[in-house]
Amino acid sequence: MSTDISATNAVRHFSELLNNIRFRGVHYTIIRGGKPAAALVPLEEGGPSRRLGDLGSIFQTLPHIDPEDTSFLDDVREAIEGQPPLPGYTSWE
């Protein structure tokens, strides 16, 4: 699906057009002199766009950890404890 836009409006709103193309996958046909002159399309078709409002439903689809299963917490603690110590100074001092 392509949205027609005049060359004048394309120039005036170019940054907005680029955002719509990149993040929403919108295709534009530039009209000049009443005829199609060019097309602005994404270089790569992206995946479905997501919005902050979708975050709740995204979290619901993630696998849940059984609160009684401590193996994940044990793995995290082991990874933290296995980290090398930080130097007692920084190179900025």
Higher pLDDT, 18 or 63: 18
The mean pLDDT value for 50-62 works out to 86
Residues 5-33: tens digit of each pLDDT: 999 999 999 999 999 998 888 999 999 99
Residue 35 φ/ψ, nearest 5 degrees: -125, 150
Higher pLDDT, 6 or 50: 6
Cα 86 from Cα 80, distance rounded (Å): 12
79: buried, middle or exposed (CB in 10 Å: 19+, 13-18, 0-12)? Answer: exposed
Which class in CATH covers the domain with range 2-40?
A: alpha beta
| pLDDT at residue 45, rounded to an integer | 63
Residue 26 φ/ψ, nearest 5 degrees: -70, 140
Q: Which residue type is seen at 53?
A: G
Would you kindly state where each structural domain of the chain is located, as residue ranges? 2-40
